[in-house]
C-alpha cells in the first residue's frame, strides 16, 4: 500500500510508548515451544510460531512457510536438521532470494542432509544423523548461523563448540542457560567460545519477551530529530549485544537515558528516555557493526541531519538482508538532498545539521520493513508531504508502527 506522510506540529513528539515483542527472543522461544507473554507480534513471530506448531504436531514431511523471516528460516532449519525429520522450508519473494549456503554448509559438516536451490530457499531437509561432536569457527559474524547450529545440536542431543571472533547477539545462549542447558561462554583474546553439551536435558520454562530494541530504535530516531521531543519507550530489551546503536548515538551527542533497569530470563530490560538532540557525525568502528546491523539504515537517515561527515564501512552484510539495504539507503538518501556516497560495504554521508529541511520525496522501500519505517521518519524533516511506495512490509516487525506515528503527531494517508 502506498502512503503519503507528513508531520506538522508546534510542539515536539511527547509521551510514553511500547513497541512490539522482541523478534529475536520471541522466535527462539517459539522454536523451543516455550510460553511467552502477550504483546504485539510482528508477522515474523507469527510465522515462526505457526511452523513450530506444525513440528510439535509430530507430523513428518512438513512444508513450513517462514514468510519474510530469515531468522525464522535459518534457526528452524537447524532445529529440524537436529530433530531428524523430513521437511521443506519456503518463504516469500524476499526470503526466497536470501543466501542459505551459510547455514547449509556447516549443517552438512555436522552430518545433516540439506538441499538448496542455487544456494537459496526452498530448503529441503532429509532425515540424517548429526555428529556427536562438532567444532565450528563462525566465518560470517551472524547470530542466525550461530543459533542455527546451536539449535541443531540441541535437538540432536549432541555436543558443539562455536568460536566467534566478532560478538553477535547472544539471545540463544542466554535462553538456553535460562532453560538450565549445559552451555558455557568463554571469552579470551578477543574471541568467544560457546560450548553446548546437549546430551544433558533442558527444562521447559516460561519466557518474558521484552519490547524489540530494533523497533524502539525508530522511535528513538524520531525523537532525536524532532525539535522539543521528549519521549519514553518502556519495557525494551537492552541486551548489551543489541544496543550498540545507543553507544553510537551518545557519541553523536544524543540525550538518551536508560531507566528502571531490570532482568528477566537473563535478558536486561529498561525504559529508554530520549530528548531532541542536535546530532554530530560519527565514524563507526568495524567491530560494532554486527551489534548495530539492523539500525544502520536508520543511522544513515540520522546522519543526514547531523553536523559533519558520518562514515560506515565493513557492513557488506547489509547487501543480503530483507533487501539490499545499501542500495535501499542510496535510493532513500537521494530524496533528502545531502551529499553521500554508498560503496560495496558501507556509506559516507555529509550531514547538513539539525536545522536542515528538504521539501518532499518519493521513497521506495524495496518491500523492506526497516526501509519503509526509515522513510516515514523523513517526514519529520520535510516541508511538504512525502510519499512511500509500499509500507505493507512493516507488519513483519512493527504492525502498529503507523498508529504510533499518528499518536506522535504524524498524518498518514493512503496515496
Nearest to 300 by CA among 254, 348, 334: 348
Which alpha helices (H) appear in 130-170, and where do they start and end? 143-156
Binding-site string for ligand S3P from residue 17 to residue 56, where x marks contact by CB under 6 A and - marks none? -------x--------------------------------
Which CB sits closer to ligand S3P, 13 or 103?
103
Conformation bin of residue 105: beta by default, left when phi > 0, alpha when psi is -120 to 50? alpha
Which CB sits closer to ligand S3P, 142 or 400?
142
Distance, in Å, from the CA atom of 219 to the CA atom of 247, rounded to the nearest integer, reads 16
293 contributes a contact to ligand S3P by CB under 6 A: yes
294 belongs to the catalytic site: yes
Reading the block at residue 294, the C-alpha cell is: 539492523
212 contributes a contact to ligand S3P by CB under 6 A: no
CB of residue 83 to ligand S3P, shortest distance in Å: 20
Binding-site string for ligand S3P from residue 167 to residue 206, where x marks contact by CB under 6 A and - marks none? --x-------------------------------------
Within 100-119, the residues that bind ligand S3P by CB under 6 A are none
Quick one: which of 36, 47, 68, 144 contacts ligand S3P (CB under 6 A)?
144
Coil, strand or helix at 356: coil
Pick the catalytic residue from 287, 294, 345, 389. Answer: 294
CB of residue 71 to ligand S3P, shortest distance in Å: 4
Looking up cell 558455557, which residue turns up?
A: 184
Distance, in Å, from the CA atom of 349 to the CA atom of 340, rounded to the nearest integer, reads 4
DSSP state letter for 200: S
**C-alpha pair distances (Å), 34 with each of 50, 69, 125:** 13, 19, 24
Distance, in Å, from the CA atom of 294 to the CA atom of 291, rounded to the nearest integer, reads 8
Per CB under 6 A, which region of 139-147, 181-189, 205-213, 278-286 contacts ligand S3P? 139-147
Residues in touch with ligand S3P (CB under 6 A): 24, 71, 142-144, 147, 169, 293-294, 317
Amino acid at each position: 500500500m502506498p502512503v503519503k506522510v507528513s508531520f506538522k506540529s508546534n510542539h515536539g513528539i511527547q509521551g510514553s510508548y511500547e513497541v512490539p515483542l522482541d523478534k529475536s527472543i520471541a522466535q527462539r522461544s517459539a522454536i523451543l515451544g516455550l510460553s511467552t507473554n502477550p504483546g504485539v507480534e510482528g508477522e515474523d513471530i507469527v510465522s515462526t510460531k505457526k511452523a513450530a506448531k506444525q513440528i510439535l504436531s509430530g507430523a513428518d514431511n512438513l512444508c513450513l512457510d517462514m514468510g519474510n523471516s530469515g531468522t525464522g528460516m535459518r534457526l528452524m532449519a537447524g532445529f529440524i536438521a537436529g530433530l531428524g525429520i523430513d521437511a521443506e522450508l519456503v518463504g516469500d519473494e524476499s526470503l526466497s532470494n536470501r543466501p542459505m549456503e551459510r547455514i547449509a554448509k556447516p549443517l552438512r559438516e555436522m552430518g545433516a542432509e540439506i538441499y538448496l536451490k542455487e544456494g537459496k530457499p526452498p530448503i529441503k531437509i532429509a532425515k540424517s544423523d548429526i555428529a556427536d561432536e562438532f567444532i565450528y569457527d563462525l566465518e560470517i559474524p551472524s547470530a542466525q548461523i550461530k543459533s542455527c547450529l546451536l539449535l541443531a545440536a540441541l535437538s540432536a542431543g549432541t555436543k558443539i563448540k562455536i568460536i566467534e571472533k566478532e560478538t553477535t547477539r547472544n539471545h540463544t545462549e542466554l535462553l538456553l542457560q535460562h532453560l538450565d542447558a549445559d552451555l558455557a561462554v568463554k571469552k579470551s583474546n578477543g574471541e568467544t567460545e560457546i560450548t553446548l553439551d546437549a546430551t544433558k536435558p533442558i527444562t521447559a520454562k516460561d519466557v518474558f519477551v521484552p519490547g524489540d530494541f530494533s523497533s524502539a530504535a525508530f522511535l528513538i530516531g524520531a525523537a532525536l530529530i524532532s525539535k522539543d521531543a521528549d519521549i519514553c519507550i518502556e519495557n525494551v530489551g537492552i541486551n548489551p549485544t543489541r544496543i550498540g546503536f545507543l553507544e553510537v548515538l551518545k557519541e553523536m551527542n544524543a540525550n538518551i537515558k536508560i531507566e528502571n533497569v531490570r532482568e528477566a530470563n537473563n535478558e536486561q530490560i529498561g525504559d529508554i528516555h530520549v530528548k531532541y538532540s542536535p546530532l554530530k557525525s560519527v565514524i563507526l568502528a568495524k567491530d560494532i557493526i554486527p551489534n548495530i546491523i539492523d539500525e544502520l539504515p536508520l543511522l544513515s537517515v540520522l546522519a543526514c541531519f547531523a553536523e559533519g561527515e558520518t562514515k560506515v564501512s565493513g557492513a557488506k552484510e547489509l547487501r543480503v538482508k530483507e533487501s539490499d539495504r545499501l542500495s535501499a539507503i542510496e535510493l532513500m538518501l537521494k530524496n533528502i538532498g545531502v551529499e553521500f556516497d554508498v560503496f560495496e560495504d558501507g556509506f559516507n554521508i555529509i550531514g547538513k545539521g539539525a536545522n536542515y529541511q528538504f521539501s518532499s520525496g518519493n521513497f521506495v522501500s524495496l518491500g523492506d520493513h526497516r526501509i519503509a519505517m526509515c522513510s516515514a521518519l523523513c517526514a519529520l524533516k520535510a516541508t511538504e508531504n512525502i510519499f512511500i511506495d509500499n509500507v505493507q512490509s512493516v507488519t513483519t516487525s512493527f504492525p502498529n508502527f503507523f498508529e504510533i506515528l499518528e499518536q506522535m503527531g504524524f498524518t498518514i494517508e493512503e496515496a
